[in-house]
Amino acid sequence: MMETSKTNYTLCPKFEKAFSILGKKWNGLIIDVLLQDGEQRFVDLAKKIPMLSDRVLTERLRELERECIVDKADSLYQLTEKGVALANALESVKHWSHDWVTEEECS
């Protein structure tokens, strides 16, 4: 009889925290728009993500500000150094989704 070893898997708290931020609906898209287009006024962000309500956009921007990923100055939202550092991670997710997510899964 073969012995199987059990491994207790524990999620790294930092990894879990990162996914709690990036996994929240709309956050990745907001960050991506700011990465692609630089600082934005609220109305411009709202136009670029039309399926997102103003109320939820406001909530998400506040959350991203609390996480020090987005900063607001002179009515412009921009990524902080911490936010810009997500560029490679988001690029990797884009490549993965291009290779593995079908059009049918998007509808």
Convert the pLDDT of each residue in 11-27 to its tens digit.
789 999 999 999 999 99
Read off the pLDDT of residues 32-45 as tens digits, 9 standing for 90 and up.
999 999 999 999 99
CA distances from 92 to 21, 89, 96, 97 (A): 17, 5, 6, 9
- Determine what percent of the chain is predicted with pLDDT higher than 70: 94
CB 28: neighbour CB atoms within 10 A? Answer: 17
Please give the backbone phi and psi of residue 31, each rounded to the nearest 5 degrees, phi first.
-60, -40
Going by DSSP bridges, is the β-strand pair 40-41/70-73 parallel, antiparallel, or unpaired?
unpaired
Please report the pLDDT score of residue 8 as a whole number: 75
Instruction: For the chain, give every domain's residue range.
Output: 14-106
Q: Which CATH architecture has domain 14-106?
A: Orthogonal Bundle (1.10)
